[in-house]
Amino acid sequence: MLNSKFVHLHLHTEYSLLDGANRIKDLPLRAKELGMDAMAITDHGVMFGCIDFYKACKANDVKPIIGCEVYVAPGSRFDKVLDKSVKYNHLILLAKNMQGYRNLCKLVSSGFTDGYYYKPRIDKEILEKYHDGLICLSACLGGEVPGHFLNGQDELAKNSALWFKKLFGEDYYLEVQANTMKEQYLVNQKLFKLSKEIGVPLVATNDAHYLKKEDAYNHEVLLCIQTGKRMSDSDRMKFKTDDFYVKSPEEMMEYFKDVPEAIENTVKIAEKCNVEFEFGHTILPNYDVPEEFESHYDYFKKLSYDGLHKRYGEELSQEIIDRAEYELGTISKMGFVDYFLIVWDYINFAKTHDIPVGPGRGSGAGSVIAYALEITDIDPLKYGLIFERFLNPERISMPDFDVDFDYEKRQEVIDYVSKKYGHDNVSQIITFGTMSARMVIRDVARVLDFSYAEADKLAKMIPNDLHITIKKAMEVNRELNDIYESDERVKELLDIAMALEGLPRQASTHACGIIIAKEPVVNYVPLYARDDIISTQYIMTTLEELGLLKMDFLGLRTLTVIRDCKELVKKNRGIDVEFDSEMNDPLVFKKWQDGESVGIFQFESQGMTNFMKELKPDCLEDIIAGVSLYRPGPMDQIPRYIANKKDMEHAVYTHDSLKPILAVTYGCMVYQEQVMKIVTDLAGYSLGRSDLVRRAMGKKKLDVMAKEREIFVNGKLDENGNVEIPGCVRNGIDEVSANKIFDEMSEFAKYAFNKSHAACYAVVAYQTAYLKTYYPAEFMAAMLNSFLGNLDKIPVYVDECRKIGVEILKPDINKSFTKFTVEGNKIRFGLGSIKNVGIAAVDSITSERSKNGDFVDFGDFCERIYGESVNKKCIESLIKAGAFDIFGKTRSTLIASFETILDTVGYSKSKGNENQVSMFDLYTDDDALQKIKYEYIELPEYDYKEFLSIEKEMLGIYISGHPLEKYKKLISEKTDFNSLIVQKFYNQENDDGEDIIEDNKVVKIAGII
């Protein structure tokens, strides 16, 4: 039973994108403050925020009502012809129960998948199909019934209302709103009359778009951001009154004092609505196993043991059997057998269809069963990886295999999954871009008529921190705070920007997340569609809370590089590349030792290169540690790690019992798994509980840590006085040392890295280093091909080619293909990387070459290929790039001559068309025509500087030489950083793993201005 006198049933949150300014977190608090214990969400055409709204309301003892303001097409939702007089009508739908929720999901989804035309539209046909469990309100002035009244079509208004009444019965209401618009007053009066005439009850709403009356101006700015207008524009979209806020019950009751039933009905409707979501369960899709197996577990176990024998041989050690049986039992008890089978199945598909799969990602590599099933490709026993870090029997949570696939072939795996489980049962996942501090300052500045320079200056005062807010920026940037305090215009801008900061700005598709459901996804959640991509309307974390299976299908560019390199080696040398399983080749480690890490996965930055040169790694464990240590926090351990490796006498252990655990990292704590092993081996914890301790330390849960310190040191007895956890003291470790070890773990744990993840990425790093060691030309060609068009990366890799003795050959019209190719130990520049030369042009050139042989000379090329896809601009660029140098003419000669030659070719191709006349018609002798065709304006080559400048304009790099070549040694001695790193710092675009330049640091760079 509700205590409210009034309930808001028409309300827009931040998920009415760039229209609703109500933050979900504020709404239930405001409702309680105003004495309301129920509230609805009715965003425009979407349900993006429904679950967040539901949870926020529940957390504050406010009853959540799930709804949507849908758009209804005047005819069929499939009609996409614009009728400017009526595009769509508004309608409020509220879910009474879970059937109503599911029907609302179907309706809202159809608006996107079937009816999208400017807006996501449903129609009356589908409304008839999915109306059960829903309450319907006639909506605002944009509704069908009010719209007819506004147009003076009272009879049509009545007929429309009768149609909805017939469909919804007692769950249809005529909506009257509390604002001072003249049109609203007129419509309200007509609705009062119609209600009595046809027996449809009234309901009062306020179409709240913002929280308080004083927020109206901020809302107008938000609308300007949406529409690209300025506040000074006379034709901007704006609400006619400032009444569209969350009004108090008293305000609403006063406005509708003559029709109190309209207020009372809000409470009656709220009491009818009882949607309850279930969280914390798991809905796995059905996985079909072969008929000969009695259960899914039997099949799973068979696959697992087949894999164990393949990995470890026919005779399995007791250690392997014990570990496998423990994992199998845990996976079965926790209900994740089908989860493992589903992951195994699509990875097996990829591997049997020549789609490269990464060796693993995240903590999943700690499972020996995952290794047996070839879900992962690193031996957890050999590298001391822990299963409980992935799947903890003492903390029930969904396992999470994130899988890397070949960047170019990832979609093939997604298509396979869609086909296997049903296209309707698989969906991509939505994500939202929000108005960040810098972005919202620029947006608001434009709306308020600030100049670009003013906006840019203010925006750049915000530190480039992912979690920075304008308020925090003013605390750390004195200059920004001073301008805020002294300049009224800036103060207004920043106040509005802070009010809008963090609101969602646009929806897009998550880069890698996929939902696989037991039934059509729309039975669980609403769908969104844009650009033919269907995704859920809820974000990834919400979907997981609802129990849906989320899988991450990541595209890793490096796997594409590895595949391309292998194919080039096969083509160039006839060798099928196989990586050594032991990963202990001294020549491969020499790449790191010598600082030749350009192109090596995760090790390309200068800082990482220097770290490896000093460390001198000679085993994969060093590479794993490198991945883990080179990041903020653990970097402090690097000097100690290097010193201890060089001389283990430097290693100091707080207690000898730490040696077996920390010896692999030369006495340093590097991994989360080491924390778990310390807690387990020294104090007698179970591995499951040790993971809980590790989590508490990582999150600095001080109350939990204080409790665990006592247990770690002195142990724990059960209720019968029996030893449950021995503790360090019982295991022979003195109390002082035990406390010191706990302190060290606590300090380290907040930075500790997951060894399973680091080990997987170390494997990929080793593979790239292996390819660079033994197949340098093929590897660098694959690297160049992976960054086609990237003018930052291409010069870096070309420079590396030169350093390691791999010559880059200029493009050749008879030898080049679309991409970079390998000729012996040299790399040929690809035609597809030349400016103004499109893929269609390259396809025409290579196709003609394949059919009719190499081009004999420039004229032969023009005769055979000049046309629609290979135009004058394209040929000019090919000349400037050096693609025709093989024909013996200078580039300047061809530039001076090519247009005349092309005109002649064009004439020859059109000869016989009597309607076309050109200067060449003056010649009747074909021999004379032939002579003109091949007549060149012979010129000396461009001077060296101009020659290189033109070449770089076309290729993005210098190939034939470099203007600063003779100054290279001097530049290297006199500079600190290359210009690329400085540019990235200036643009605040540092990639993960890139070196970071300190703010205000003076640096020396050199280059051409």
Edge to edge, the sheet with strand 821-823 lists 807-809, 826-828, 821-823
Q: Is residue 484 situated within a structural domain?
A: no
Question: Is the pLDDT at 267 greater than 80, yes or no?
Answer: yes
pLDDT at site 614:
95
Mean residue pLDDT of the chain comes to 91
Beta-bridge mates of residue 554: 404
Q: Is residue 151 situated within a structural domain?
A: yes
> Among 230, 254, 272, which residue terminates a domain?
272
Q: How many CB atoms lie within 10 A of CB 81?
A: 6
Question: Binning pLDDT at 50, 70 and 90, where does residue 910 land?
Answer: low
pLDDT at site 924:
46
Coil, strand or helix at 19? coil
pTM to 2 decimal places: 0.87
Q: Is residue 324 situated within a structural domain?
A: no
Residues 388-402: tens digit of each pLDDT:
999 988 887 888 898
Are 936 and 993 in the same domain? no
Q: Percent of the chain beyond pLDDT 90? A: 80
Q: How many CB atoms lie within 10 A of CB 914?
A: 5
Residues 467-497: tens digit of each pLDDT:
899 999 999 999 999 999 999 999 999 999 9
Q: Which of 350-359, 459-468, 985-994 has the highest mean pLDDT?
A: 350-359
Residue 592 half-sphere exposure toward CB, CA atoms < 13 A: 30
pLDDT at site 1003:
76
Burial of 932 from C-beta contacts in 10 A (0-12 / 13-18 / 19+): middle
Nearest alpha carbon to residue 145 among 103, 170, 115, 176: 176
CA 551 from chain centre, in angstroms, equals: 13
Are 728 and 651 in the same domain? yes
pLDDT at site 961:
84
Residues 960-1001: tens digit of each pLDDT:
888 877 777 787 777 766 655 555 544 444 444 444 556 667
Crossing angle of the two packed helices 437-447 and 452-459, in degrees rounded to 10: 160
Residues 566-586: tens digit of each pLDDT:
999 999 999 999 998 899 999
Are 247 and 125 in the same domain? yes
Question: Is the pLDDT at 629 greater than 80, yes or no?
Answer: yes
Are 898 and 988 in the same domain? no
Residues 187-197: tens digit of each pLDDT:
999 999 999 99
Number of domains the chain contains: 4
Residues 80-106: tens digit of each pLDDT:
776 655 579 999 999 999 999 999 999
pLDDT at site 998:
61
Mean pLDDT of 256-260: 96
- In this structure, what token pair is assigned to residue 334? 């926790």
Q: Is residue 277 situated within a structural domain?
A: no
Question: Is the pLDDT at 339 greater than 60, yes or no?
Answer: yes
Are 625 and 757 in the same domain? yes
Q: Which residues contact 39 (CB under 8 A, 6 or more apart)?
A: 7, 8, 11, 27, 28, 31, 57, 62, 63, 64, 65
Over the Cα atoms of the chain, what is R_g? 35
Instruction: Name the least confident of 136-150, 256-270, 517-531, 639-653.
Output: 639-653
Provide φ and ψ at 336, rounded to 5°: -115, 20
Q: Is residue 416 situated within a structural domain?
A: no
Q: Is residue 940 situated within a structural domain?
A: yes
> Among 237, 272, 307, which residue terminates a domain?
272
Cα distance between residue 592 and residue 613, in whole Å? 6
Are 970 and 942 in the same domain? no
**Amino acid letter, 934:** Y
Q: Which residue has the tokens 């969904």?
A: 398
pLDDT at site 398:
84
Are 978 and 925 in the same domain? no
Mean pLDDT of 758-779: 97
Cα distance between residue 629 and residue 671, in whole Å? 9
Question: Is the pLDDT at 920 greater than 50, yes or no?
Answer: no
Mean pLDDT of 134-142: 97
Are 884 and 986 in the same domain? no
Question: Binning pLDDT at 50, 70 and 90, where does residue 270 land?
Answer: very high
Q: Is residue 810 situated within a structural domain?
A: yes
Question: Binning pLDDT at 50, 70 and 90, where does residue 118 land?
Answer: confident
Question: Is the pLDDT at 667 greater than 70, yes or no?
Answer: yes
Are 970 and 956 in the same domain? no
pLDDT at site 133:
98
**Amino acid letter, 918:** S
Mean pLDDT of 371-387: 96
> Among 252, 272, 292, which residue terminates a domain?
272
More confident residue, 767 or 1003: 767
- CATH code, domain carrying 238: 3.20.20.140
pLDDT at site 916:
47
Q: Which of 41-55, 618-632, 902-916 has the highest mean pLDDT?
A: 41-55
Are 117 and 261 in the same domain? yes
Which strand (E) or helix (H) includes residue 38?
strand 38-44
Are 971 and 958 in the same domain? no
Q: Which residues contact 465 (CB under 8 A, 6 or more apart)?
A: none
Burial of 924 from C-beta contacts in 10 A (0-12 / 13-18 / 19+): exposed
Q: What is the 3-state secondary structure (H, E, C) of 315-366?
A: CCCHHHHHHHHHHHHHHHHCCCHHHHHHHHHHHHHHHHCCCCECCCCHHHHH
pLDDT at site 86:
56
Residue pair 388/363 in contact by the 8 Å Cβ criterion: no
Are 254 and 127 in the same domain? yes
Residue-range definition of the domain harbouring residue 971: 964-1009
Nearest alpha carbon to residue 414 among 511, 530, 544: 511
Measured CA to CA in angstroms, residue 921 lies from 344, 388, 900, 911 at distances of 71, 85, 15, 9
Residues 497-528: tens digit of each pLDDT:
999 999 999 999 998 999 999 999 999 999 99
Q: Which of 208-212, 232-236, 902-906 has the highest mean pLDDT?
A: 208-212
Question: Is the pLDDT at 919 greater than 70, yes or no?
Answer: no
Mean pLDDT of 314-324: 97
Q: Which residues contact 549 (CB under 8 A, 6 or more apart)?
A: 282, 283, 284, 285, 339, 342, 515, 516, 517
Q: Is residue 174 situated within a structural domain?
A: yes
